[in-house]
């Protein structure tokens, strides 16, 4: 039986615009700087490469209409893609969770991603890998969408100024709670990031570098695009995935490094108190890498400077990003 939605909303039909139908665009055409910071950037969409200006998806793609899709943010350094296998595993886990069939194998995805970087002649940068549910009608039922779309965008990246890696970030707790896993599981890296965007807005309004998001229990979940770590008496702790933290790839690298350096590590619930009382605090994320936090909700963390353990972990992380990963150019 058809739902009301589907009965009312038929497949989109393409109409030639008539003179009457032409309306002024809401924003006048004006020269736009390249969004990805690369001259003559090439974007991969479903097996083909397009210039940035021609890289377009349908307005009927449910990725746009409903945030129905998944993504990964991946970094490459010195001609190698960092932790590519882990990113693809997480993408496939997200897909399974939302019952989305990625229309290619992991090997084919690896090759498409490497080729997109090659097409852009880059050795250091960021890759945004997106799989949308594909084109459907205006009803939200995903069964309308027969062909998921794969999009790969390569960009130049600097998330934070160098200064902030030396001085550390200021974070504020935001009122927006991390999505309850029973409603939308934060372990799924979905295209629906409005929860994070709302938190990010709060950080902007408070003039802070990042927003700390709590879960429904009032425990720390994560920041808007980073995992949170505290260090107390040499022990390094981060919230578990069940607290609303993404299973961050950089999070697991930070744990590997901490263990290699001989520190005790623990995944456990933490509260804001644990952040205020921490000796050190840092965030991890593919874009942010590993970055110290020196102030939370107006309280200085430790002595207000990036701590010694954090500094060692960052140094080792930089070595790993430089020397390891999937080679791009053979
Ligand atoms: C909500 C959220 N948490 C944490 C992270 C950090 O994860 P990763 O280290 O895999 O980039 C990200 C970024 O991917 C994120 O979007």
Flag whether pLDDT at 280 surpasses 90: yes
pLDDT at 257: 98
pLDDT at 159: 75
Specify if 250 maps to a domain: yes
Flag whether pLDDT at 171 surpasses 60: yes
For residue range 45-92, list pLDDT tens digits in order.
999 999 999 999 999 999 999 999 999 999 999 999 999 999 999 999
Rounded to the nearest whole angstrom, what is the distance from the C-alpha of residue 105 to the centroid of ligand 1?
23
**Is residue 249 in contact with ligand 1, taking CB distance under 6 Å?**
yes
In CATH, what number is assigned to the domain containing residue 247? 3.20.10.10
Specify if 2 maps to a domain: no
DSSP letter string over 97-133?
Answer: HTT---SS-HHHHHHHHHHHHHHTT-SSEEEEEEEE-
Q: Are residues 53 and 142 in the same domain?
A: yes
Share of the chain above pLDDT 90, in %: 86
Specify if 235 maps to a domain: yes
Q: Are residues 204 and 94 in the same domain?
A: no
Q: Rounded to whole angstroms, how far apart are CA atoms 186 and 195?
A: 10
For residue range 17-28, list pLDDT tens digits in order.
455 555 665 555
Q: Are residues 128 and 184 in the same domain?
A: no
The total number of structural domains in the chain stands at: 2
Q: Rounded to whole angstroms, how far apart are CA atoms 11 and 186?
A: 32
Closest ligand 1 atom number to CA of residue 196: 1
Specify if 273 maps to a domain: yes
Average pLDDT over residues 202-226: 98
Q: Are residues 89 and 221 in the same domain?
A: no
* Confidence tier at 242 by pLDDT (50, 70, 90): very high
For residue range 123-153, list pLDDT tens digits in order.
999 999 999 999 999 999 999 999 999 999 9
Closest ligand 1 atom number to CA of residue 224: 1
Specify if 182 maps to a domain: yes
Flag whether pLDDT at 6 surpasses 90: no
Q: Are residues 220 and 318 in the same domain?
A: yes
pLDDT at 32: 55
Q: Rounded to whole angstroms, how far apart are CA atoms 123 and 117?
A: 8
The torsion of the CA quartet 326, 282, 316, 232, rounded to 10 degrees, works out to: -130
Average pLDDT over residues 303-320: 97
Per the document, the length of the chain is 330
| Of residues 162, 132, 157, 163, the one with CA closest to residue 146 | 132
Specify if 329 maps to a domain: no
Q: Are residues 291 and 181 in the same domain?
A: yes
Q: Are residues 181 and 285 in the same domain?
A: yes
Closest ligand 1 atom number to CA of residue 252: 9
Domain final residue, candidates 124, 155, 186:
155
What average pLDDT is seen over the chain? 92
Flag whether pLDDT at 210 surpasses 90: yes
Q: Are residues 132 and 261 in the same domain?
A: no
In CATH, what number is assigned to the domain containing residue 26? 3.30.470.10
Rounded to the nearest whole angstrom, what is the distance from the C-alpha of residue 11 to the centroid of ligand 1?
36
Rounded to the nearest whole angstrom, what is the distance from the C-alpha of residue 122 to the centroid of ligand 1?
23
Rounded to the nearest whole angstrom, what is the distance from the C-alpha of residue 201 to the centroid of ligand 1?
18
Q: Rounded to whole angstroms, how far apart are CA atoms 109 and 88?
A: 8
Q: Whose CA is nearest to atom 4 of ligand 1?
A: 226
**Is residue 285 in contact with ligand 1, taking CB distance under 6 Å?**
yes
Catalytic residues: 189
Domain final residue, candidates 132, 155, 178:
155
Specify if 1 maps to a domain: no
Angle between helix axes 84-97 and 249-260 (nearest 10 degrees) is 130
pLDDT at 202: 98
Closest ligand 1 atom number to CA of residue 227: 4
**Is residue 244 in contact with ligand 1, taking CB distance under 6 Å?**
no
**Is residue 250 in contact with ligand 1, taking CB distance under 6 Å?**
yes
**Is residue 284 in contact with ligand 1, taking CB distance under 6 Å?**
yes
Rounded to the nearest whole angstrom, what is the distance from the C-alpha of residue 17 to the centroid of ligand 1?
42
Q: Are residues 287 and 189 in the same domain?
A: yes
Specify if 58 maps to a domain: yes
Enclosing domain of residue 184: 162-322
Higher pLDDT, 23 or 269: 269
Share of the chain above pLDDT 70, in %: 90
């Amino acid at each position: 039986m058809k739902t009301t939605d589907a009965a009312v909303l038929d497949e989109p039909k393409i109409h030639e615009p008539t003179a009457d139908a032409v309306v002024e665009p809401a924003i006048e055409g004006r020269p736009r700087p390249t969004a990805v910071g690369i001259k003559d950037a090439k974007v991969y969409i479903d097996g083909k490469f397009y210039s940035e200006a021609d890289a377009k998806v349908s307005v009927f793609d449910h990725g746009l209409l409903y945030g129905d899709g998944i993504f990964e943010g991946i970094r490459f350094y010195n001609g190698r893609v960092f932790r590519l296998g882990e990113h693809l595993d997480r993408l496939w886990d997200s897909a399974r969770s939302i019952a989305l069939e990625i229309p290619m194998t992991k090997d084919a995805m690896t090759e498409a991603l490497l080729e997109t970087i090659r097409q852009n002649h880059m050795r250091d940068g960021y890759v945004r890998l997106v799989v949308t549910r594909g084109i459907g009608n205006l009803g939200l039922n995903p069964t309308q969408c027969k062909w998921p779309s794969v999009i790969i965008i390569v960009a130049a990246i600097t998330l934070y100024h160098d200064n902030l890696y030396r001085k550390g970030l200021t974070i504020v707790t935001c009122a927006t709670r991390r999505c309850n896993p029973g409603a939308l599981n934060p372990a799924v890296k979905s295209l629906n990031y409005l929860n994070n965007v709302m938190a990010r807005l709060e950080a902007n309004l408070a003039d802070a570098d990042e927003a700390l998001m709590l879960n429904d229990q009032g425990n720390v979940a994560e920041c808007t695009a980073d995992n949170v770590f505290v260090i107390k008496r040499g022990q390094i702790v981060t919230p578990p995935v069940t607290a609303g933290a993404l299973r961050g790839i950089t999070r697991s690298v930070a744990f590997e490094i901490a263990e290699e350096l001989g520190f005790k590590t623990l995944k456990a619930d933490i509260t804001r108190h644990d952040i205020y009382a921490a000796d050190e605090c840092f965030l991890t994320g593919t874009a942010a890498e590993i970055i110290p936090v020196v102030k939370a909700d107006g309280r200085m963390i430790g002595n207000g400077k990036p701590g010694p353990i954090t500094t060692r972990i960052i140094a080792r992380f930089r070595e790993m990003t430089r020397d390891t990963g999937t080679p791009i150019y053979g």
